[in-house]
Amino acid sequence: MTQRNNQQIRDLVREDRVHRDLYVNPDVFDLEMDRIWSRAWIFVGHDSQVPNAGDFYATEIGREPVIMVRQTNGDVRVLHNRCAHKGAKLTGRPQGNCKGFRCPYHGWTYKLDGRLAGVPARKGYDNTPFDMKDPRFSLAPVAQADSYRGFVFATLDPNAPPLPEFLDDAAATLDNIADRAPEGEVEVAGPPLRYLHNCNWKMFVENLNDAMHPMVAHASVGNAARRYVAEQPEGTEYPPEAEIIFPFGSSYEFFDKMQVTALPHGHAYMGGELSIHSDYSAVPGYWDAMVKSYGEERTKKILSQNRHNTIFYPSFTAKDAIQAVRVCRPIAVDKTMIESWHFRLKGAPEQMLKRTILYSRLINSNASMVGPDDWDCYTRIQEGLVSDAKVWVDTSRGLGREEAVGDGRRKSFGTSDLSYRNQIQAWLEYMTDEVAA
């Protein structure tokens, strides 16, 4: 595959279908690591994970181990997690605090900004090319790193467009998450939930705007809840979990009405004002705190934005009304780590965070009654695509019924495959380095 030319890559995609190689071929996966995950802006973390100078958080950009680290001047930098000497990863723990980095093997030390600080018994390098000031002997910064409302992204491509250009209108989802805090800022609440998926990374991302599956794949939990309530004495009220669980069983018509909006670079979102989260009951004290900060008109405007899932292709997905995000980290063609992160709205009643956590536990957890059904379906696709009976995967729902809404954005009915096709289009652009006209 690495020998495959652009035409051979284009042959994997038709306007109404994609070839199974996108999901099952390890060579395609390797090429994706080079051409998508090394070039797109990838979510690294949130700057509230590293509040103090020396705080670090280690993660990956595609296959590249990196460290996000807070500088003494308050900046956040993203460095490659590889000793300049023999290549060892500098941190064993995924997070912590340090005055600088010290390689545990030969003791090379680095300042927080990555510059080499010291080498034991340096005389041994006399009259060699070794030079404390040569970047070759310092930790390499990633090509570009930037943050938006505290959400830190980085790219390994020095020629990638600036972050705001990459985010396009998906940025409004991050704005809304932060704006929903009376203090205009969010912070990470607790460690993430990690959930290993036995599927290709694209299946997870595609599913987030797949509005044809909830009423099928997630019917059982709603039915179970209804059966339980039906067995209770008459007049028993539905528990708070119900307003989170039941909307997943919403009708095709409801999801169609939510609409889907495709953005450049493969990004997209469902909803806008109406979503399966728009009918949550009010949390006492929250409205007042918001009005105090923003005034009534702006508060109404902030709370009226309700995007169901925003996809920041390829690595990041967010729910603005829930303040929960999921991060996609591909490991192999059929292995993907999904991390769920949760945010506290600064200045809001703690009850808001409790709802975020309840939501994520009911929907995203490895042990929820929703996530494992998605997990199982992805795994079945991975298993089913082995079949030689057919090699194509269908992407045709709603084809030709999208409407251009300006700035390269397109809209369609909610159960359309528009977002799916939009992701495949971005995939093709990255993989062939050709932007479609």
Partner 1 sequence: MTAQAQHAAPDLATIEEFLYREADCLDRVDLDAWIQLYTEDGTYWMPVSPDQQSPETEISIFYDDRLLMEIRRRNFGDEWAASMDYDVRCSHLIGNIRYATDGGPDDGWRVQSNFQAAIYYRGETTFYAGHYTHDLVNTPDGLRIRHKRVDLLNCDSAELGSIVIYL
Residues engaged in binding partner 1 (CB under 8 A): 189-198, 216-217, 219-221, 223-225, 227-228, 239, 241, 337, 340, 342, 344, 350, 353-354, 357-358, 360-361, 364-367, 369, 371-373, 375-377, 379-380
Q: How far is the CB of 355 from partner 1 (least distance, A)?
A: 10
Between 30 and 241, name the residue whose CB sits nearer to partner 1. 241
Q: Are strands 95-97 and 55-61 parallel, antiparallel or unpaired?
A: antiparallel
Which tokens go with 90? 């500098």
Q: How far is the CB of 429 from partner 1 (least distance, A)?
A: 30
CB 345 within 8 A of CB 293: no
Q: How far is the CB of 290 from partner 1 (least distance, A)?
A: 20
Alpha-carbon gap, residue 245 to 370, rounded angstroms: 9
Between 109 and 365, name the residue whose CB sits nearer to partner 1. 365
**Residues near 364 by beta carbon (within 8 Å), at least 6 away in sequence:** 193, 195, 324, 326, 340, 370, 371
Q: How far is the CB of 192 from partner 1 (least distance, A)?
A: 7
Alpha-carbon gap, residue 153 to 226, rounded angstroms: 42
Alpha-carbon gap, residue 420 to 410, rounded angstroms: 13
**Residues near 326 by beta carbon (within 8 Å), at least 6 away in sequence:** 208, 316, 317, 318, 338, 339, 340, 341, 364
Q: How far is the CB of 371 from partner 1 (least distance, A)?
A: 7
Q: What is the DSSP string of 45-90?
A: EEGGGS-STTEEEEEEETTEEEEEEE-TTS-EEEEESS-TTT---S
Between 123 and 227, name the residue whose CB sits nearer to partner 1. 227
Alpha-carbon gap, residue 47 to 212, rounded angstroms: 35
Between 48 and 198, name the residue whose CB sits nearer to partner 1. 198
CB 175 within 8 A of CB 162: no
Q: How far is the CB of 185 from partner 1 (least distance, A)?
A: 17
Alpha-carbon gap, residue 299 to 317, rounded angstroms: 24
Between 253 and 350, name the residue whose CB sits nearer to partner 1. 350
Residue type, 14: R
Between 220 and 304, name the residue whose CB sits nearer to partner 1. 220
Q: How far is the CB of 250 from partner 1 (least distance, A)?
A: 16
Between 153 and 195, name the residue whose CB sits nearer to partner 1. 195
Q: How far is the CB of 222 from partner 1 (least distance, A)?
A: 9
Q: How far is the CB of 223 from partner 1 (least distance, A)?
A: 7
**Residues near 280 by beta carbon (within 8 Å), at least 6 away in sequence:** 243, 244, 321, 355
Q: How far is the CB of 245 from partner 1 (least distance, A)?
A: 8
Between 125 and 228, name the residue whose CB sits nearer to partner 1. 228
Between 301 and 354, name the residue whose CB sits nearer to partner 1. 354
Alpha-carbon gap, residue 317 to 61, rounded angstroms: 15
Between 224 and 435, name the residue whose CB sits nearer to partner 1. 224
Q: Is 261 helix (H, G, I), strand (E, B) or coil?
A: strand
Which tokens go with 115? 């510059």
Largest CA distance in the chain: 89
Alpha-carbon gap, residue 232 to 76, rounded angstroms: 54
